[in-house]
Chain A
Amino acid sequence: GAVVSQHPSRVICKSGTSVKIECRSLDFQATTMFWYRQFPKQSLMLMATSNEGSKATYEQGVEKDKFLINHASLTLSTLTVTSAHPEDSSFYICSAIETISPDTQYFGPGTRLTVL
C-alpha cells in the first residue's frame, strides 16, 4: 500500500525558534497533501491543504505566516512552524492523496513537537 513518511518523528525546540517538518509520499505521487494538528485527547483539526506548485489553502484561524507550507514536488510537502511558542506544542500529522486515485488519504506517522 501507499506509504507516507514524516520527519522528524519527534522534535523539541526552544521558544522563538523555527522547526521544519517534512512529509513525503514514498511510492506514489501526491498532488495534494494535508496538514493536521492534534492536541492531546482531541481530534484532528485540518490546518491547511497543500497543492504541488501552488500556495497552500489555510483553514480559518490558522496563521499562514506562522505555519509556512511548501509543496515543491509531487512527493514532498514541508510545514515550518516559525517563532514557535509552547502553545504550538502538538502532534502534527500529514496526509497525502494519490494523484491517480484521489479517494483515499494516506496518513503519515506524525511528528510530536514540544516547544520549551
Chain B
Amino acid sequence: GIQVEQSPPDLILQEGANSTLRCNFSDSVNNLQWFHQNPWGQLINLFYIPSGTKQNGRLSATTVATERYSLLYISSSQTTDSGVYFCPAFHHGSGNTGKLIFGQGTTLQVKP
C-alpha cells in the first residue's frame, strides 16, 4: 500500500525558532491535509491543501502533488505549537472513499 514518510520524526526547538516539516508519499495522493494533534488527542485542522501554497498566521504549507510531497512551515514557534503533526491524504486510486493514509507523524517540542 501507499507509504507516508514524515520527517523529522522528532524535533526540539527553542521558542521563537522556525522549522520545516516534510511529508513524502510513495504514490499519487489527493486532498492532503495537515493536522496538529493536541495533548488530549484531538486532531486539529491546520490546512486542506491538495496543491499550491496556503498561509495562516505563523503557519504555511506547500504541496507539490506532481512530486508527491508537502511541507509545513512554522515560524516564530510557541510552546503551544508542541504536539504531533500529521499530513494524511487520500490515495489517488481509492476512488471517493474516505480512507485517509497517515504517516507516523512529527513530534514537536517547543521549549520556553
The judgment on whether A and B are partners is: no
